[in-house]
Structure 1
Amino acid sequence: MKQRLKLLLFFIIFPLIIFGQAKEVVPPDYIKTIIFTGKTPESQLPIIKLGDRIVLEFDALNGNEDDFYYKIEHYDFDWKPSNLSKAEYMIGFDNNRIRHYENSFNTFQIYSHYNLTIPNERTRGLKKSGNYMVEIFNDYDELVFSRKFMVYEDQATVGVIVRRSRDVKYYDEKHTIDLTIASSSIQFNNPTETVKTIFIQNNNLNTAISNLKPQYTLGNELIYKYTSETSFWAGNEYLNFENKDIRGANVDIEYIDLEDIYNNFLFTDIVRANRPYTFNPDINGNFVITALDTERPWIEADYAWIHFSLLPEENILNKEIYVYGNFNNYELTEANKMHFNDARGVYEAQILLKQGFYSYKYVLLDKNNKLEEGAISGNFHETSNNYKVLVYYRDLGARYDRLIGIGEAESINIAN
């Protein structure tokens, strides 16, 4: 009877773990600067070709030289655990210690820099395409954080075209993605059931559009030309700052202060939603670690408190506002939430970041906890965004979703 009660409580408390979609675990405060890249280092959404390497780097700021371990799990298109065993998708073993780490050198903030590269001597490679999650554990087998990545086969041609919205109401504010999928090696059987897609703007999985079905079939070519279903708010160019010279004012830094570590105070930003669009080159939410006069920025770049401030307008007062970008994996947490300073009349946030070049924006949550990316920065069709489309295929009777192709386009080459 007691054993049945324990099982019943387990299924009541943990239904999302067993039956729900896998979600990335946000790292604790002492884990910083998670950089997860594939063959193209400037894109920090790791989508790698089957057989290529993948690199995960991060810093631990507690000064303990902790041991960390990694596990790799395979998932279906909808981020539910796949039916494959580890022996079916992995060559070698996981649950290994991350062996490569270095301590910071000549920095105010001490840290240990960890580097995990796959393939390595123990995990010699991945055999299947699809969705994956790498999980990082500590010595007590406690999950510290996790990150998603994707492995694709080059089995389909994915054509992506960015257009202005077909809905006249949003013609100046949204982008619509047209898609064509073709393959010379795969015969698409029953494509409305076997082919799945995910549309991604600026490497942000949190705002991705997924699982749209092809509208037309022309031979073995699948065509997607939706009016609104593949539309994204166009947003605005990201704001940027650079502090590669941590002792001098660089891009968007107003002044600097030194306490235990450096404090970099950015110029106060304004609400751009009701102002004309202004082109400002950015890196679409990404960041790059760089430091002046260093040969090894991964251990010689220092950390600084970055002080953000935003001059509010009436429509955003008493709202939950966050600083947002790939530097925090587009998460909305207390660490990047802004608070109103009555004395200065501005929203403020301070975030501990490693030296480098960062792009960021301000976003808010409405009273229904719905994300509004453009409420502060605005939405303009002129905005240059990066769009990726991933194509998955599971043939009749297959046991997992293959990622058979990837397409990419920039809205700077907008078609209309």
Structure 2
Amino acid sequence: MKQYTLLFSLLLSYFSIFGQNATEKDAPKNIKSIIFKGTTEDQFPVAQLGDPLTLEFDDITASEEDYYYKITYYNYDWTPSSLSKSQYLSGFDNLRITNYENSYNTLQAYSNYRLQIPNNNLSLKVSGNYMLEIYNNYNELQFSRRFVIYKDAVSVGVSIKRTRDFEFLNQKQAVQIAINAGNFQLINPKNEVKVTILQNYYWPSAITNLKPQYTIGKELLYKYDKESNFFGGNEFLNFTTKDLRATSTAIARVQMKELYNHYMYADILRANEPYTYYPDINGDFVVTTQQGEDASRESEYTNVHFKLPYTDVIGLNDVYVFGKFNNYAITDENKMTYNEDTGYLETSIMLKQGFYNYKYVLKTDKDELKYNAIGGNFHFTENNYLVLVYYRNFGDQYDSVIGVGNGNSRNITN
């Protein structure tokens, strides 16, 4: 009887793990400035099958540690796929990253690692959802990042409209999609085709499980009033540290200690302020320096000091500095603390020289993230929307990505 009980427990544990949705693992404190991208400038790793993806990161221990990479394939909903590794990979993974160099002439020493996929050791066979995992020499997972490979089999039109939900008329944006199958054979599109919509390449924002409302010939139309709506948010705040000694409209003063320290002007709560447009890069960051030619190895790390006034809107909620610089993680490093002497919430984050977007988010005692309580919501806000089109025919073992589409709310219409 004990044997059956043990077997049942093991099976239950197995199926529980097998059915879990994959999420990205945050990097430890010594690994910083993770850049993972395809052929576009946006730091979101989506690429056509056969095109290159590049990963770059720094280890500030500067000890030339060995790091290894593994690649895993997932279903549309980020549950583990039944495909074996040989069905989605040509060659081998679990190999050491051999392309790395130490920083040059910097106050903070670091080792800079680079990896390209595909490479001489492996290539990808199928389109769909993948996870890249980086391990240390003790086979301990350091961090992971999702990426998407697609085939350009269908065309995807994306348009951004003002919502028809009158309760949020001035706060939300509606994404409408038109998929033209062309020569691609779709027999039962309501069951075969699934779409995912992301705002500003942020996976937790994803809207999924939308079915086409209309089928006109070979065109699938998604014109939902509410189901494909997103809160507009506000434009991201920004600063640049590419010139180590320069102040700016965002940086009040620079001080040299063990590292350079950049002290920001105090930000304001913008939720009740009029909307103002100014260009941003939708939460992203770009490493750049004026002190050298190779930004990857010659950029300094500096301590950037953020400051936000405390108000009743914040209350007892925690406040975090939020951006792509740490993959939008909510950690102690980017958590603000109240300074009784100044009356401000403050924090300091060590960041590599460059141009950065950021905003402030609230976290309640119920672990709920309120993304726009401080910045506000406006339907005018410029946001980028990515649409991924997944396809699985009857009898197939995996969800392929047959097309991607991009839309921007800069020219939002009614």
- TM-score for both structures, normalised by structure 2: 0.96
Alignment deviations for residues 175-226 of structure 1 (CA, whole Å, 9 cap, x no partner): 0001111112322222222111111111111111112111111122111111
CA distance in 2, matches of 1:366, 1:236: 20
Q: Is the 8 A contact 2:233 2:376 kept in 1?
A: yes
CA distance in 2, matches of 1:109, 1:12: 48
- Residues 138-153 of structure 1: pairs in structure 2 closer than 5 A: 138-153=136-151
Q: Is the 8 A contact 1:77 1:392 kept in 2?
A: yes
Query: SS at 1:298's partner residue?
Result: helix
Letter of the structure 2 residue corresponding to residue 293 of structure 1: Q
Cross-structure match for 1:216: 214
Worse-superposed segment, 365-374 or 277-286: 365-374
Alignment deviations for residues 291-341 of structure 1 (CA, whole Å, 9 cap, x no partner): 013110100001011111111321212111111111111122222111121
Distance 1:31 1:120, change over 3 A: same
Q: Is the 8 A contact 2:299 2:353 kept in 1?
A: yes
CA distance in 2, matches of 1:251, 1:195: 48
CA distance in 1, matches of 2:2, 2:350: 48
Cross-structure match for 1:277: 275
Give unpaired runs (5+ residues) of structure 2: none
CA distance in 1, matches of 2:7, 2:18: 13
Alignment deviations for residues 378-398 of structure 1 (CA, whole Å, 9 cap, x no partner): 011111111111100001111
CA distance in 2, matches of 1:109, 1:303: 6
Aligned residues: 414
Query: SS at 2:374's partner residue?
Result: helix
Query: SS at 1:288's partner residue?
Result: strand
Distance 1:7 1:108, change over 3 A: farther
305, 310, 313: which one aligns with 2:311 = 313
How much has 1:85 moved relative to structure 2? Answer: 1.4
CA distance in 1, matches of 2:12, 2:33: 36
Give yes or no for the alignment of 1:17 onto 2:33. Answer: no
Letter of the structure 2 residue corresponding to residue 55 of structure 1: T
Letter of the structure 2 residue corresponding to residue 27 of structure 1: A
How much has 1:251 moved relative to structure 2? Answer: 4.6
Worse-superposed segment, 323-332 or 354-363: 323-332
Cross-structure match for 1:97: 96
CA distance in 2, matches of 1:153, 1:3: 48
CA distance in 2, matches of 1:106, 1:370: 43
Worse-superposed segment, 144-153 or 216-225: 216-225
Worse-superposed segment, 143-152 or 87-96: 87-96
Letter of the structure 2 residue corresponding to residue 50 of structure 1: L
CA distance in 1, matches of 2:353, 2:6: 49
CA distance in 1, matches of 2:384, 2:51: 22
Alignment deviations for residues 143-183 of structure 1 (CA, whole Å, 9 cap, x no partner): 11100000000001111000011111111111000111111
Percent identical pairs in the alignment equals 48
241, 252, 255: which one aligns with 2:253 = 255
Letter of the structure 2 residue corresponding to residue 333 of structure 1: T
Worse-superposed segment, 60-69 or 245-254: 245-254
Q: Is the 8 A contact 2:291 2:298 kept in 1?
A: no
Cross-structure match for 1:186: 184
- Residues 336-355 of structure 1: pairs in structure 2 closer than 5 A: 336-355=334-353
CA distance in 1, matches of 2:112, 2:384: 30
Alignment deviations for residues 224-275 of structure 1 (CA, whole Å, 9 cap, x no partner): 1111110100011100000011122235111122221111111110100001
How much has 1:14 moved relative to structure 2? Answer: 7.1
Cross-structure match for 2:234: 236
Cross-structure match for 1:120: 119
CA RMSD of aligned residues (A): 1.7
- TM-score for both structures, normalised by structure 1: 0.96
Q: Is the 8 A contact 2:102 2:109 kept in 1?
A: yes
Cross-structure match for 2:401: 403
Query: SS at 2:373's partner residue?
Result: helix
Distance 1:4 1:141, change over 3 A: farther
Query: SS at 2:86's partner residue?
Result: helix
Worse-superposed segment, 13-22 or 227-236: 13-22
Cross-structure match for 2:68: 69
Letter of the structure 2 residue corresponding to residue 304 of structure 1: T
CA distance in 2, matches of 1:90, 1:413: 41
Cross-structure match for 1:26: 26
How much has 1:415 moved relative to structure 2? Answer: 2.1
CA distance in 2, matches of 1:228, 1:289: 38
Alignment deviations for residues 31-90 of structure 1 (CA, whole Å, 9 cap, x no partner): 0000001011x2111110011000000000112110000000111101111121111111
CA distance in 2, matches of 1:400, 1:171: 39
Q: Is the 8 A contact 1:271 1:312 kept in 2?
A: no
Cross-structure match for 2:37: 37
